[in-house]
Structure 1
Amino acid sequence: MGNERRLLALVICLVLGGGLGAAVLGASRAAGPHGGAATGPHAGAAGRPSPSASVDMRDVPPAPPAPAPAADASGGSVVVDCGRGEQGHYNEDNLVVSPGLRAGAHHTHAYVGNLSTDAMSTDASLDAAATSCAGGDRSTYYWPVLRRPDRPGRRPYELAAGHGNAGEILREASVRVEFRGSPVSKVVAMPRFLRAVTGDAVAHTAGDDTDVRARWGCSGSPDRSTTRYPRCPGGERVTRTLVFPSCWNGIDTTGEAHRSHLLFPAGNGVCPPDTFPVPELRVSLAYEVPPGVAVALDSFPEQRHSPKTDHAMFVNVMTERQMDELVACLNEGRHCRT
């Protein structure tokens, strides 16, 4: 009898333990691989950021004017016409941050430029691919999508990300890919296959805003920007501006945490010691968003769609000739388009 009771107790413990384990595993899977409870001041409802993550742009003061460029500045600009994603190139990969890992981003990225880019891309495959850029630039430019969580996603690419990223993906009304020079000196060429990141995909939980770079705004007030979602007057577009670091160490095409090889200049435009100024990439996006409609940036689950987590990636696949022409245009102070 004693043995039977002990056996019964063991069976009960196993059943209860299995149920508890399943419950814990289920909660973990619901949160996703970057899981975290929906807590904090910007938690919001599932798929939606908190209302405190947005601001009326009329309440944002204008930025001070930029300092005058130095005599040796490279004051030109080059706009690379790559369309606005008409080809519908989306995936949940991140070639720069997690190469070789399918769905490694856990959210959806939109692309212009190289039409083959995914987690499995190599330098050779990028070099051989087609491109959306009119002048033949095979570089890849990509960023997390912006959604309307008040409307359900219906297309396969809108439903693929999961992890709380839900809703209709807003197509970009315009995409501007632009390279600028340095306000204090000439620039040198970027190396081919240079990888670059701007912004901080985990800024909401990072504890500081050191790597927050993206700026949001409204098309009618280009002199005002914010790190919050902008509420724009009727008839104006919501804008995102993503500026990349432009001081290269002269050695590597990638670095520790995908950042150490390419740094931002100081506020006066001067590069850190032992780095060289290269063309500054600036990606500007605009969206048609009706007044009163909330938007949500795709993000890791615990980042709660915070606008501070906006980021973008770039791989330079320009030929040496294309890069040399771009550098010449910047250093000669011309304004070019390819």
Structure 2
Amino acid sequence: MGASKVTSMHVAHLAGVSQSAVSRVFTPGASVSKKTIEKVRKAADELGYRPNVLARAMVSGKSGIIGLVVAYLNNQFYPEVLEKLTNVLQERGYHVLVFLASHAAGNIDRVVEEILDFQVDGIIAASVALSSDLSARCQSAGVPMVLFNRVQDDPSMSTVTSDNIAGGRKAAEFLLAGGHKKVGYIAGWEGASTQRDREAGFRAGLQEAGVTLHAREVGNFVTEQTQEATRRMFASDPPDALFVANDHMALAVMDTLRFELGLSVPGDVSVIGYDDVTAAAWPTYNLTTVRQPANRMVAETVDIILRKIEDAEARPRRVEIDGPLIIRGSARLPGGWKK
């Protein structure tokens, strides 16, 4: 074909089928015979043809693309979720475009505006908070959105999270059952609903037992800031137990306690995290943590976004999934409890 661009018309001519048949072969979910698929795929391979997804989106109104916005990937939970979301969506005939958005003012709005330019069929925002103006912009563009691991007050927004309040309460109950009296908490980014709800559940669990929070610091879900928060907390009158708002910070806390401050975990300090990332089960950490049921959260998220793509009138859903406390070795085991 020389330097000229290969088109679907060239593929149709070589395969001996109509141009519309070629289009159907490369359209997810379209009805087409196995024989036609084989002929078109063979011709496309010979010619080096690749369909123009964005051009097809302009014609059909559907791109087969889901935009996924994530705030950061250094927390192990999100690469694992990203893989699960991508696999499930691909099984359903969709592709994923990943966009990174920090918490910086205006950054998330700019990223979502960019996503809309790609004619995506839907948006999944993982641990990202959106302005009400941006939510309305997506709605007016006819692009459904689901918040993953975040909630907002907007009743028109679908959300999927673990039950963060219940998880925080479980952490409090376990530490109190272990006989701890001086209990501390290291918070994540305070603009996050997950941080807010985990702390609220934790404080409620302590309060019901007549115990007040002994110490509190903020790690902002960042390793270096968490290390500093741990140093401040243990500079004087340190706690004997800690609940940390996610595993990413909890691992940094454990490293600081053991290798910098010379403390034993759980001998001197019990530590509980939240997420149950892969590293939590490593013998190095053996972290007791509240598990986010990622598989179920992903399944619910995909179900909601695809249902909304298929039916614009589908009502928004708010899903909270309870996750278990995974008992390992980083927190004192209460009498009668088993790992």
User: Normalising by structure 1, what TM-score?
Assistant: 0.24
User: Normalising by structure 2, what TM-score?
Assistant: 0.24
Rg larger in structure: 2
Q: Which has the higher contact order (CA 8 A, sep 6+)?
A: 1
Larger strand percent: 1
